[in-house]
Amino acid sequence: MYYLKLVFKNIFRHKLRSLLTLLGLVVAILAFGLLQSVVNAWYAGSDMASARRLVARNAVSLVFPLPIYYRERIRAVDGVTAVGTSNWFGGIYRDMTPANFFAQFAVDHENFFDLYSEFRTRPEELLAWKKDRRGALVGRLLADQYGWRVGDVIPLKGTIYPGTWEFVVRGIYEPRDESTITRQLYFHWDLLNEEIKLKYPRRAEQVGVFVVGIADGSRAAEISQAIDREFRNSLAETLTETEKAFQLSFIAQTETIIAAVRIVSFVVIVIIFAVVANTMAMTARERLAEYATLKTIGFGPAFVGALIIGESLMITALGGAVGILATFPAAAAFKAAMGSFFPVFKVAPETVAMQVACALVVGLLAGLLPSIRAARVKIVDGLRYIG
């Protein structure tokens, strides 16, 4: 009891110093939590990928397309149930801020949505979209962000395919569950292809990737190899992998950025460790005479050491707790500011666990050296320090 009382009262002896240290801790733990959540959000899309879908792309690079006529040959491969095509459109809506960024794909309207059962479409809307060459099918998240309704016209400024493209919203699909991200716009590949045919005939009749439906997820590797074998030594060889692997390879391109974010999140912790360690070293030094007095009275070195470790842990626990609590509203605000650039932006329980661990480790390590020093200092030397 006395121990806790001493520890607790000691924390607030230098109010300004303690408050600044606490502020640093709150900011550091908060920043750590946010950065970790950014990393998680980055990977969130790949969690949604189905194991029953493969993606076939040009083996050289994703920027090279595949000829559309591959479709029939892929469909003929044993184990394949459906084949869809998809082109990344890359248009700009309103401006280039991350908040206004979303994915647009030109797909084969006839069977593309059969492959994506996680997108819940209304039959009449799906039909209307299939019938309208200029129609767009948009995700619920996207529609809500911009307040789009069926019938609205959406202008997109093409980057890969120049010009302004206008689409009419024909339907809004809903997510099957929480992990489904409904933040895309789909339109007819036929429309894209016709425009290209007029302007750049040599780029026509090509698709970005084939999305391949398979009945048995456990045969994914085998079927992928069979598809790639089919096109070996042809003009455009394919590289087929599961949709999840495809998504991850996409992320891998930005891996260095993610790695940097991850490193920064730990650098923040190292910095706050240095700050707390410095505070504790200063504090313990100033109180050497008090510790020596306690020892003179008969308290042991362990008690004195525990006073410092306890104080250090109590400060980091306090700062850590506030930091963790602040992470949730901060994450919500961050998500709002980013629009739905990160459709899944959550503070994961693992992130909170890491925040707790960081706070505890910082508290323990920062208090360790000053505590050992204070425990060891000879009484006669300690008494000479007049604080």
Partner 1 sequence: MSASPGAGTRPIVLITNLAKGYRRGDQHVPVLFDISLSIPEGDFIALMGPSGSGKSTLLNLIAGIDKPDSGELLVDGEDITRLSESELADWRASHVGFIFQFYNLMPVLDAFENVELPLLLTSLSRRERRERVDMALALVGLTDRRDHYPNELSGGQQQRVAIARAFIADPTIIVADEPTGDLDRKSAGEILALLRRLNEEMGKTIIMVTHDWHAVESARHVVHLEKGELVDDKKGADSFSASSATASGKGI
Ligand X SMILES: Nc1ncnc2c1ncn2[C@@H]1O[C@H](COP(=O)(O)OP(=O)(O)OP(=O)(O)O)[C@@H](O)[C@H]1O
Contact positions vs ligand X (CB under 6 A): 380-381
* Residue 282 sits in the site that holds partner 1 (CB under 8 A): no
Q: Helix count (H) and strand count (E) of the chain?
A: 14, 12
Q: Which of 257, 299, 325, 332 binds partner 1 (CB under 8 A)?
A: 299
Whole-angstrom distance, CA of residue 145 vs CA of residue 130: 24
**Which one of 111, 195, 383, 385 is in contact with partner 1 (CB under 8 A)?**
383
CB of 355 within 8 A of CB of 324? yes
Nearest alpha-carbon partner for 132 in 105, 118, 159, 150: 150
CA-based nearest residue to 371, from 320, 302, 319, 323: 302
Residues 239-278: x where in contact with partner 1 by CB under 8 A, - otherwise, as a string? ----------------------------------------
Q: Which residue is nearest to ligand X (CB)?
A: 380
CB of 286 to ligand X, least distance (A): 19
Cα Rg for the chain, rounded, in angstroms? Answer: 30
The answer to whether 2 contacts partner 1 (rule: CB under 8 A) is yes
We find the least distance from the C-beta atom of residue 381 to ligand X, in angstroms, to be 6
Q: Which residue among 108, 132, 241, 290 contacts partner 1 (CB under 8 A)?
A: 290
Q: Of the two residues 203 and 376, which places its CB atom closer to partner 1 in the complex?
A: 376
Q: How many CB atoms lie within 10 A of CB 120?
A: 16
Q: Is 6 an interacting residue with respect to partner 1 (CB under 8 A)?
A: yes
Do 123 and 104 meet the contact criterion of CB atoms below 8 Å apart? no
Pick the closest to residue 102 from 48, 141, 60 (CA basis).
141
Q: How far is CA 249 from CA 12, 50, 57, in A?
A: 51, 15, 12
Residue 81 interaction partner, one of ligand X, partner 1, none, beta carbon < 5-8 Å per kind? none
Q: Is residue 52 a contact residue for partner 1 (CB under 8 A)? A: no
Q: Rounded to an integer, what distance in angstroms lies between the CA atom of residue 292 and that of residue 376?
A: 10
Residue 49 beta carbon to partner 1: minimum distance, rounded to whole angstroms: 58
Q: Which is nearer to ligand X, 80 or 292 (CB)?
A: 292
The residue (of 133 and 384) whose beta carbon lies closer to ligand X is 384
**Backbone torsions φ then ψ of 8, nearest 5 degrees:** -65, -45
The residue ranges that bind partner 1 (CB under 8 A) are 2, 6, 9-10, 13, 289-290, 293-301, 378-380, 383, 386
